[in-house]
Amino acid sequence: MITILFKYFWIAFIIITFVNAFIMRHRSKKYITEMPDLKDGYDKLFKGMIFYGNIPWVIMGFGIISGLSNNMFDYFNPKSMNSIVLVFHFSIIVLWVLSIRWIYFKSGAEFIENHPGFIQVQGFGNRNNISAKQIKLFYPLMLAVGIAGMIMMWIMDKPTLKL
């Protein structure tokens, strides 16, 4: 039973990505009602989140189902130099680079700011829409955490779990 769980856990990541997108879509409905001209922009955000957000999980699923990797734990060990694990990690790096380009050089932060409700920050008892300045300020911090995790996976010695 546990073997099956770890072999197909990537499906849970895909489901979570879809659930998050639908939550953001639901939050945005009142803004679309107030400003219908923003609907196309919201649709682009939702489709982008679903498409780009699932690329690593589809790679992981393909690797596990095809037998190129055993389970999700293989993806915590890029030092094994398993080709599909490296493709998984490379896809994450490419997504980071694309997100930096979009946020800082293609006005992505402003696009998100102009589509309220898509990303909100929790304040003291209330939710506030995020500003482009906040996105540009906090994105490097979020990225640093991801990079630190990636570095740790490369430098730590850990055995590959065989289930």
Quick one: how far is CA 79 from the chain centroid? Answer: 22
pLDDT given at position 117 = 83
pLDDT digit string (tens) for 45-90? 999 999 999 999 999 999 999 999 999 999 999 999 999 999 999 9
What's the structural domain count of the chain? 1
Closest to 73 in 3D by CA, of 145, 63, 94, 55? 63
pLDDT band with cut points at 50, 70 and 90 for residue 122: confident
61 to 52, 83, 94: CA distances (angstroms): 15, 14, 18
Domain carrying residue 37: 2-155
Note whether residue 105 is domain-resident: yes
- pTM of the prediction? 0.88
Note whether residue 100 is domain-resident: yes
Q: Which residues pair with 128 in a beta bridge?
A: 121
Q: Where are the beta strands (DSSP E) in 3-162?
A: 120-122, 127-129
Note whether residue 160 is domain-resident: no
- For the chain, give the mean pLDDT: 91
